[in-house]
Structure 1
Amino acid sequence: MHGGHSSAQAFMNDYDHHSEDDDDDKTTTDREDKASTELSPGWAAWQRLVPRLALFVCAGAISFYIILQLANLLLSIDLPHTLQDVQAIAVQLDTMTTTGSWQDYFAVVIVFAVIYLWQQGFSMPGSVLLNLLSGHLYGVVAGSLWTSYLTALGSTLAYFLGWLVGTPAMEMSWIKRRADAMREQMDKEKKSTGLFWWLLFARLFPFSPYWFINLASPLLGIPVLPFFWSTFLGSLPYNFVCAQAGEVLGELTSTSDILTVSLMFKLLLVSLVSLIPIIWGKAIQAKLRGWLQRGQKDDEEMELEAHQSSLGYIPVSTAVN
């Protein structure tokens, strides 16, 4: 009996020992799960971002290939990469638009628009070369308006693509900090002078990160219409200067002939002028409101006097005199 009792006691001790080991393993697992949960927001953002980013890159690559085929099929050209490429293409396209048929003319317009929209929509460099080409083909005024419209339309495309990539990216710390700063500034200006003027200044300022504005705007709640029109008006000065240079495209030796210190100073000056409504917006609004109210009061007094005169009423001041 004593032997049986000892065996049972040994079995219970061994069971308790294993139970303690199981509890330790469970505690360790719970700690690991908790640590994994604490790290999960960043990893979850990356897990959502990577497939969306891959889809974004694939869409850009496929559309780029289609554009290459379209340009080669309709115009027998490749996309320009250097100023010399633009100069050679400009001669060919100028011949097509001036001496060719109307089909050639519209082929040039369509291919140019598709290339420009792709470049803006996927935030790719190279707009200066296309702006030069537009100025050479359509002149300063028409070229500036055309490229500004395409800039606004392409940026709006990037605006909607921002929904694809931007949502998980906004959870990353360095992007979130920039977005929060942009949101804080936007809310402040929205209360003072309005969202449109703030967006316009951001476009006119030559050192603004256009790609970030395009991709972050939908996630910050910026409506499409003020986004579109501020982009259109804000890109006009830069596109105008490039279109001017495009008229003498054959005389340029490099893009540095366009992007000079003088040009950057002019663009900076234009952006500072756009600050007027932002800095003195409330004072200007109060002044305009006072003028409007004063004018409305004068009109009401004139209408009252005319009504009294029609009734044969003589003002007291006139009767005393």
Structure 2
Amino acid sequence: MGKARNFPLSSTEVAMVFALIGIFALGLSGVYLSMPAEDYSFLKLPRTLEELKILRDNLESYSSDYTIQVLVSYCMVYIFMQTFMIPGTIFMSLLAGALFGVIRGVALVVFAATAGASSCYFLSYLIGRPLAVSLWPDKLTFFQAQVAKRRQKLLNYMLFLRVTPTLPNTFINFASPIVDVPYHIFFFATLVGLIPAAYVTVRAGIALGELRSLGDLYDFQSIATLFFIGIVSVTPTLLSKNQSEEESNNRSERLIKSN
């Protein structure tokens, strides 16, 4: 018997992860060096609404004078967080609304979230299976069964998952290549399915000063709307399933009568 592995990743796979982190670090360093000499002690990932408001207040002037640098930095940080499943992207979505308004904010969030989800997808495709099996064995089995059952209408199912909070987006990003969700379906479902939630969050970012907690983001009406959109997206799958069952029953009845 070979020697058992104590860690789910090999040394080569760990090296690939650190290489990807290095690429992001070099990109962010380049953007940082292109900014004017100022005190940037306020630049850190926000973990509370108060930290987010401080970051917003400091970035408002930079976003008008150094728009390109702010946009590139924002996208790189968002994509990095999505790629490595770092919590806190909801604060980044709020920040987009506070700095850029609804239309540009939604476009920015959907672009960055889709790019980050795609990056996570391909990273997981390369090294994700042992980690996913180690972290979410039951959830992965459930997801794989659902994908296999809905293979014919998989896009509708993936849209439903993206629109509604049925499964965490980080899990969907990481698990999709492992359960054989094709990338083109994953990409389109992500690009379209994230728009409703992005709109809710970005719109809330415009009135950031009125937020008291993250629980204020999604009231009953917002959650009900998201689930309604999700149900609409999955309806063709349900109709197709019922139609197939009806056709199967009709064939069985005809065979019985013919005998």
Structure 1 pair 48/96, CA: closer, same or farther in 2 (3 Å)?
Answer: closer
Residue equivalent to 2:180: 221
Report the AA paired with residue 78 of structure 1.
Answer: L
Residue equivalent to 1:184: 145
The secondary structure found in structure 1 opposite 2:150 is helix
Residue equivalent to 1:96: 62
Structure 1 pair 92/175, CA: closer, same or farther in 2 (3 Å)?
Answer: closer
Would you say 1:244 and 2:203 are equivalent positions? yes
Q: Deviation at 1:113?
A: 0.6
Would you say 1:127 and 2:89 are equivalent positions? yes
Would you say 1:78 and 2:39 are equivalent positions? no
Point out where structure 1 has 5 or more consecutive residues left out of the alignment: 1-36, 286-321
Structure 1 pair 190/49, CA: closer, same or farther in 2 (3 Å)?
Answer: same
Would you say 1:201 and 2:166 are equivalent positions? no
Query: What are the within-5 Å matches in structure 2 for residues 276-291 of structure 1?
Result: 276-281=235-240
Q: Deviation at 1:177?
A: 4.6
The secondary structure found in structure 2 opposite 1:253 is coil
Residues 162, 218 of structure 1: 8 Å contact kept: yes
Q: Residues 186-234 of structure 1: CA distance to partner in whole angstroms, max 9, x if unpaired?
A: 122123xx22111111111213132222122222222212111101111
Higher RCO structure (Cα 8 Å, ≥6 apart): 2
Report the AA paired with residue 100 of structure 2.
Answer: Y
| Match for residue 211 of structure 1 among 151, 160, 170 | 170
Report which of the two has the higher share of helix. 1
Structure 1 pair 276/237, CA: closer, same or farther in 2 (3 Å)?
Answer: same
Residues 49, 169 of structure 1: 8 Å contact kept: yes
Structure 1 pair 132/71, CA: closer, same or farther in 2 (3 Å)?
Answer: farther
Q: CA separation in 1, counterparts of 2:15 and 2:9?
A: 10
Structure 1 pair 170/85, CA: closer, same or farther in 2 (3 Å)?
Answer: closer
Residues 87, 249 of structure 1: 8 Å contact kept: yes
Query: What are the within-5 Å matches in structure 2 for residues 91-170 of structure 1?
Result: 91-98=57-64, 100=65, 104-169=66-131
Q: Deviation at 1:162?
A: 0.4
Report the AA paired with residue 217 of structure 1.
Answer: S
Q: Residues 250-278 of structure 1: CA distance to partner in whole angstroms, max 9, x if unpaired?
A: 33233232144443333233322322122
Q: CA separation in 2, counterparts of 1:208 and 1:48?
A: 24
Point out where structure 2 has 5 or more consecutive residues left out of the alignment: 245-259
Q: CA separation in 1, counterparts of 2:178 and 2:159?
A: 18
Structure 1 pair 176/185, CA: closer, same or farther in 2 (3 Å)?
Answer: same
Task: Say which is worse superposed, 174-183 or 114-123, in terms of deviation.
Answer: 174-183
Residues 183, 220 of structure 1: 8 Å contact kept: yes
Structure 1 pair 251/167, CA: closer, same or farther in 2 (3 Å)?
Answer: closer
Q: Residues 10-49 of structure 1: CA distance to partner in whole angstroms, max 9, x if unpaired?
A: xxxxxxxxxxxxxxxxxxxxxxxxxxx4xx69x45x5552
Give the number of aligned pairs.
238
Residue equivalent to 1:291: none
Q: TM-score, normalised by structure 1?
A: 0.64
Structure 1 pair 277/188, CA: closer, same or farther in 2 (3 Å)?
Answer: same
Q: Deviation at 1:65?
A: 5.4
Residues 117, 150 of structure 1: 8 Å contact kept: yes
Q: CA separation in 1, counterparts of 2:15 and 2:139?
A: 24
Structure 1 pair 56/85, CA: closer, same or farther in 2 (3 Å)?
Answer: farther
